[in-house]
A = this chain, B = another copy of it.
Amino acid sequence: MKYTSMENLHFLIKEVHPIQDLLSASLYQDYDLESFDIMLSAAKDLADQYYFPYFREMDEQPVRYEDGKVIVHPMLGEIIKQTAENGWFGSCFSYEDGGMQLPQMIFHAASHIFQAANNHIVGYNNLTTGSSNLIVTFGSQELKDQFVPNMLSGKWMGTMALTEPQAGSSLSDITTSATPLQDGTYSIKGQKIFISGGDHQFAENFIHLTLARIDGAPAGTKGISLFVVPKFRQESDGSLTNNDVLVAADFQKMGQKGYATTHLLFGENDNCIGYLVGQLNQGLKYMFQMMNEARIDVGLTAASTAYAAYFASLQYAKERPQGRSLSRSGKKNINEEQTLIINHPDVRRMLFLQKAIVEGALSLLFECSKLVDLHKISDGEAKENYHLMLEFLTPIAKTYPSEMGRESINSGLQVLGGYGFCNDFPLQQYYRDIRIMSLYEGTTGIQSLDLLGRKVPLKNGKALQLILNEINKTISDAGKIEALNPYSDQLNNKVQLVGKTLQYLSKFANEGDFESYLADATVFMEMTSTVVVAWQWLKQTIAASEALGNQTGKFESIFYESKIHTMKFYFRYELPKTIGLAETLTNPEMLTILKEKELIL
């Protein structure tokens, strides 16, 4: 079973977002294209052998909670071990910090392969990477030495512990407390829920990067600090002592059943020690490093899951005969043999919809990975600009794959007809698994408030302007290829439409009416992300057209022609949605802001 396209991956990282641009940096001096090829090929082998074969089983044998313990699929330990031994935990960390100093693009490419093969596993890996990175970036040398090597080896695993029962998306309301002890450590007490990968039988220790409030700290997000809270603390002789972190439950879910979602109790017996990371009351700012990484990672998981679903429905459509094509007269010849369903226009529409959404989303995600790398190897204003662009794109890169990946899988399930709903085929599992992506790491509503409320006005609109410059550059490049002119014009029109809509909305903000400005942030997200992905499709098409024109491409011409065809599909079927969304956004009738009559719902 095919679950991803290595051709597409190589196309994205070499021809659309050329990783070659990074190779002059001294940071990556040990690498060349060939070494990347070898690494990604090894990642694919690992995924074939250890990830994909257990994808269905992890759904059928969900994580369970027994006697205070979280029990995961028996193969998980071996899979984590293999992945860590291959160096993928902390692969982008510097050599000094125990990493391979790889570009983010390669780490994301490998993650994509693993996620497409089995979306239930990669969270365990990447949360360990992300929490190690928090310690590496903001922690003391002592914390680094104590925790990071064991985490990168996969012996210990990491989590991010933010959410509390009374404060889901509202982090200003967290109440987990940290009381200073005489030795500089803190006594931690509180509950955290929805802690992904929070426990299982295959790690010697779990390292929870935990937000808590030091006694007397200011109210709200300004009084939150970040702590390393291990399940077992290491004594000076190296032995491990229970650190009073209890697993109260594992949430049973509709999908991603192989991925633990735990409820943790810290300090129920007043014996839970936490180690402060960095400065007092800076915890949320630090945590945003991991949260932003995690947001892009969720987008990548969503796109990867939807890509695997695409290949599953494509295969079915190529094998399943049913019905006949219409003749010119509008009748069918029932004496003909049945045709394969891939030949029916409506089935082709559903498959192209999947491809258009997923390959567009993947291109956006590699745009983001490249920005991470460019930021890392740049200085001064360039560095700042890459950061701003990444900030702007992050909520989109999280939301579009999550929301539209769900639509894509819905379409793929429909391709299979009744079988799509049955457990004999994987579509129903992909359909269930992906649904959590628009909830993880800030719901779509939260991401949309972030986009319109924070990222659009960021640095007086500079982040937005930088992205607009990039889009306009693509429009101008496409304008130089005659066959692409109609599409560059369309994208240009839609960019103008977003601009006009934003101008309309900004009036509210200028008048101080932020509630009206933000009320339809989610609709604005849908509109903007649809345009941003159109930009990615035009970018892919320019690369494909050049490869066809110069015959410089590495793939068969059909690969590039399919890219161009799918761009046209996106522009015909997806991009026009923005017109209706603009009409909604500029309709002066406000209907969702609470007035006195709350009973109206």
Residue positions of A touching B, CB distance < 8 A: 163, 166-170, 172-173, 193-194, 219-220, 251-255, 261, 314, 317, 321-326, 328-330, 332, 334-335, 338, 342-349, 351-352, 355, 406, 410, 413-414, 417-418, 420-424, 428, 431-432, 435-436, 438-439, 443-445, 448-449, 453, 509, 512-515, 517-523, 558, 561-562, 565, 568-569, 572-573, 576-581, 583-584, 587, 589, 591-594, 597-601
Is the CB–CB distance between B562 and A601 below 8 Å?
Answer: yes
Chain B residue at minimal CB-CB distance from A521: B346
| Minimum C-beta distance from A426 to chain B (A) | 11
B418 adjacent to A594 (CB under 8 Å):
no
State the Cβ distance, A97 to closest chain B Cβ, in Å. Answer: 32
- Cα distance, A453 to B599, chains bound together (Å): 44
Query: Given the known A-B contacts A169-B322, A601-B342, are A580 and B576 also in contact in the complex, defined by CB atoms under 8 Å?
Result: yes
What separation, in Å, do the CA atoms of A485 and B338 have in the docked complex?
52
Asked if B345 and A515 sit within 8 Å, CB to CB, the answer is: yes
- The residue that A417 contacts in the complex, of B168, B346, B424, B597, with Cβ under 8 A, is B168
Known: A172-B334, A445-B414. A421 touches B255 (CB 8 A): yes
Residues of B within 8 A of A338 (CB): 166, 170, 173
Does A512 contact B432, Cβ atoms closer than 8 Å? no
Tell me which of A253, A314, A568 has the highest count of chain B C-beta atoms within 10 A of its own C-beta: A253
**Interfacial chain B residues near A435, Cβ < 8 Å:** 410, 413, 421, 428, 431
**B220 with A423: CB separation less than 8 A:** no
Chain B min CB distance to A581 (Å):
7
Quick one: which of B253, B326, B347 contacts A518, CB cutoff 8 A? Answer: B326
- When distances are taken between beta carbons in the complex, the residues of chain B under 8 Å from A330 are 453, 509, 512, 514, 517
Contacts of A351 in B (CB 8 A): 601
Are A322 and B168 touching (Cβ within 8 A)?
yes
Q: Provide the residues of chain B in CB contact with A343, threshold 8 Å.
A: 594, 598
B580→A422 contact, CB < 8 A: no
Contacts of A512 in B (CB 8 A): 328-330
Supposing A580-B577, A583-B576 touch, asked if A323 and B169 sit within 8 A by C-beta, the answer is yes
Q: In the complex, A440→B464 CA distance in Å? A: 46
Majority SS of interface residues in chain A? Answer: helix
Residues of B contacting A167 with CB < 8 Å?
Answer: 322
Q: Which residue of B lies closest to A249 (CB)?
A: B424
Residue of chain B at shortest CB distance from A580: B576
Task: Report whether A346 and B592 are in contact in the complex, using a CB–CB cutoff of 8 Å.
Answer: yes
A313: min CB distance to chain B, Å? 11
Chain B residues in 8 Å Cβ range of A443: 414, 417
13 CB < 8 A contacts A-B: A163-B418, A167-B322, A220-B334, A330-B517, A345-B592, A348-B592, A406-B410, A417-B439, A421-B439, A558-B599, A561-B597, A569-B592, A577-B577
What 11 new A-B contacts, CB under 8 Å, besides A328-B514, A349-B519, A569-B592? A166-B338, A170-B323, A251-B422, A330-B509, A342-B598, A347-B445, A352-B591, A414-B439, A523-B573, A562-B599, A569-B591
* Given A346-B522, A591-B569: A561 and B417 interface contact (C-beta under 8 Å): no
Minimum Cβ distance to chain B for residue A314 (Å): 7
- Contact at A322–B561, with CB atoms within 8 Å? no
Chain B residues with CB under 8 A of A348: 592-594, 601
Q: Which residue of B lies closest to A256 (CB)?
A: B421
| Shortest beta-carbon distance from A318 to chain B in Å | 8
What's the Cα separation between A10 and B580 when bound, in Å? 34
Q: Are B328 and A593 in contact (CB under 8 A)?
A: no
Contact of A583 among B329, B346, B579 (CB under 8 A): B579
Residue of B nearest to A512 (CB): B328
A222 to chain B, nearest CB (A): 9
Give CA–CA (A414, B436) in the complex, Å. Answer: 9
The closest CB in chain B to the CB of A337 belongs to B173
Closest chain B CB from A430 CB (angstroms): 11
Contact B598 A572 (CB under 8 A): no
- Give the residues in chain B near A329, CB-CB below 8 Å: 512, 514
Q: Name the CB-closest residue of B to A329.
A: B512
CB distance from A55 to the nearest CB of B (A): 16
B522 touches A349 (CB 8 A): yes
CB–CB A572/B587 < 8 A: yes
Of A168, A251, A355, A592, the most chain B CB neighbours within 10 A belong to: A592
- B562–A600 touching, CB < 8 Å: yes
Bound-complex Cα distance A587 to B574 (A):
12
**What are the residues of chain B within 8 A of A576 when measuring CB–CB?**
579-581, 583-584, 587
Partner of A414, one of B173, B332, B444, B513: B444
User: Is the beta-carbon distance between B252 and A422 smaller than 8 angstroms?
Assistant: yes
A254 touches B431 (CB 8 A): yes
Chain B minimum-CB-distance residue to A167: B322
Chain B residues whose CB sits within 8 angstroms of the CB of A515 once the complex forms: 325-326, 345
Report the minimal beta-carbon distance from A291 to chain B, rounded to whole angstroms.
Answer: 15
B594 x A254 contact (CB < 8 A): no
CB A596 to nearest CB in B, in angstroms, measures: 12
Bound-state CA distance A346–B591 (Å) is 11
Contacts of A448 on B, CB cut-off 8 Å? Answer: 346
Residue of B with least CB distance to A428: B254
Please tell me if the beta carbons of B346 and A565 are within 8 angstroms of each other in the complex.
no
**Least Cβ–Cβ distance between A63 and chain B, in angstroms:** 12
Cβ distance A558 to chain B, nearest Cβ, rounded Å: 5
Residues of B contacting A406 with CB < 8 Å? 410
